[in-house]
Amino acid sequence: MSPNEFTSQLRDGVSRFKNRLERDGWLRRGRDAWNWVREPLATIAVVLVSTTALAQPFYVPSGSMEPTIAIGDEIVAAKYAYGYGRYAPPFGSAKFMKDRMLAASPKVGDVVVFHPESDPGHAWVKRVIGLPGDHVQMLAGRLIINGQMLPLKRDGSGKVEDGDGLYRDVPRFVETMPDGKQHAIFKWETNGPLDNTVVLVVPQGRMFLMGDDRDNSYDSRVPAAEGGIGFVPMANLVGRAEFVLGSVDFLNAQTLLNWPGEFRIARLFKGVN
């Protein structure tokens, strides 16, 4: 049999098989099934790509970043800001990735989402205070970066929500970063357990992070072995916190039916500074 005859017979066989499938209704059912799953699959693909490459929302259950971020806020983190590492996928982690692709360093003062080594299964949010080589110290409740004590200005008082849903008034201050950018913090006292530290030098490839509620944040001032997070690897970055997508005071909503009444409209789309 010549190659041309073989090709012709093969083509005829495929045509007969296709006609039989068509006659028995299999092709129609296959097309119907594909049309039924195509849009959901496309939606899932778009969600996975966008939450991996662009941005992802994260729910905040604690108050360590008050007054910047409240308990019950859902913040959106921009993943493209610092590149893509092992925690870029929206579910789980890509443990095979040792380095970040398109890596960029955060700036001192950025509010970042990350996975601490002490709790790799959960995303945390803190403010960047020190980068590799920086010297960081707390002295009598004041933050010192590379020998410079950061300016602190009293800004009245603010309400801190405790884990039981109760609010209390605490002193509020405006802190000025070395580059001149300002953000609000809560400072309850000046001689607490985290208000005086030795000079801490940030190792290469790591960050020093702190919460804005300075007396209610176990952060880089506390080693991971003692319940803090220590120096956090750059590789564990997820993204930069950009804005609040929504916020519910769930601690004071006894049931799901009460949640609409505890929705904080004033925090809707509020930028994270």
Active-site residue (options: 64, 118, 217, 220): 64
Residue of 79, 126, 217, 247 marked active site: 126
DSSP 8-state assignment for residue 214: T
> In a 10 Å sphere around its CB, with 0-12 CB exposed, 13-18 middle and 19+ buried, how is residue 129 labelled?
buried
Whether 153 is catalytic is: no
Q: Indicate if 64 belongs to the active site.
A: yes
Active site residues: 64, 126
